Amino acid sequence: MNSKKILLTAFIVVAIIQLVIPAKMIWDKERILETGKEFKFETAPIDPTDPFRGKYIVLQYKENSLQVDSKDTWVEGEKIYVILKTDSKGFAAIDNVSKEKPSDNTDFVKAKVQFISGLHSKTLGISYPFDRFYMEESKAYDAERAHIESQLDSTKTTYALVNIKNGDAVLKDVLIDGVSIVEIVKENRMKD
C-alpha cells in the first residue's frame, strides 16, 4: 500500500509538470501579446505541410538580410539578436545584428543566421522565429492564394503583425492592406 502511495504522489507530480509546462508556454506568449511592442513586417510567401500541425502559411520577410563586416565570423544556425527600427512607412527594418543580448531599452528580436554569402562584402541572411501563420486546413490554400495575389499587385502591401518583448516574438496576424487574411478568405468565399 505504501509503494502505491509513493507511485501516486510521483504521478501527481508528473501530471502537474505536464500541465505547468504547456501553461507556462501560454503565459509567456500572453505576456508578450499584452505588454510587447507591435511591429509590422512586410512579407513574401510559400506553403508546405507539417505532419503534426495541419496547415499554415509560411512567411518570408523583405527585411531578411543585411551586409555585415567581413572580418566578423558568423556561423549558420547560430543564435543572433536583430536590433529593430521603424522605417518611414511604418514597417520594421533591421538596424543591426549582434551576438550579445542588447540592453533592455532597445527593440530587438531573437533569430538565427540562415546563411552567409559573399567573400569580401558578406551578406547575412536572417531566419525569424515567426515564419508560420496557422490557418484551418481548408482555408490555408485560399489564404495562400490571396497572399500571392496581393504580392503580385504592387498597389497592395502585405505584412505580418508581430508583438515583441525582450527578444521574444508572437505573430498575431497577417494583413493585406490593413485587413486580416482570415477576413479576406471569408469574404472571397461569400463572393464565390
Decide if residue 12 touches other proteins (CB under 8 A). yes
Rounded to 5 degrees, φ, ψ at 35 are -115, -5
- The site map against other proteins for 14-53 (x = CB under 8 A) is xx-xxx-xx--xx--x--------------------x-xx
Query: Nearest-CA neighbor of 122 among 172, 173, 70, 50?
Result: 70
Residue 145 is a binding residue for other proteins (CB under 8 A): no
Count of positions on this chain that bind other proteins (CB under 8 A): 37
CB of 155 to other proteins, least distance (A): 27
The DSSP annotation for 28-78 comes to HHHHHHHHSEEEEEEEEEE--B-TTS-BEEEEEESS-EEEE-TTS---TT-
When asked if residue 72 is in the footprint of other proteins (CB under 8 A), the reply is no
**Interaction of residue 190 with other proteins, rule CB under 8 A:** no
- CB-CB contact of 135 with 182 (8 Å): yes
Beta strands in the chain (DSSP E): 37-46, 56-61, 65-68, 79-86, 92-98, 108-117, 122-127, 132-134, 158-165, 168-176, 179-180
**Ramachandran category for residue 29: left, alpha or beta (phi over 0 → left; psi -120 to 50 → alpha):** alpha
Q: Which residue, 61 or 130, is less far from other proteins as judged by CB?
A: 130
Amino acid at 50: D
Rule CB under 8 A: choose which of 65, 129, 141, 165 binds other proteins: 129
The CB-of-154 to other proteins minimum distance in angstroms stands at 27
Considering only 31, 62, 122, 139, the residue that binds other proteins (CB under 8 A) is 139
Q: At what angle do helices 181-191 and 137-152 cross, to 10 degrees?
A: 100
Residue ranges in 155-184 that form contacts with other proteins under rule CB under 8 A: 170-171, 182
> Tell me, what amino acid is at 31?
R
> Least distance from C-beta 106 to other proteins, angstroms?
23
If one asks whether residue 132 binds other proteins (CB under 8 A), the answer comes out as yes
Residues near other proteins, by CB under 8 A: 4, 7-8, 10-12, 14-15, 17-19, 21-22, 25-26, 29, 50, 52-56, 76-77, 129-137, 139, 170-171, 182
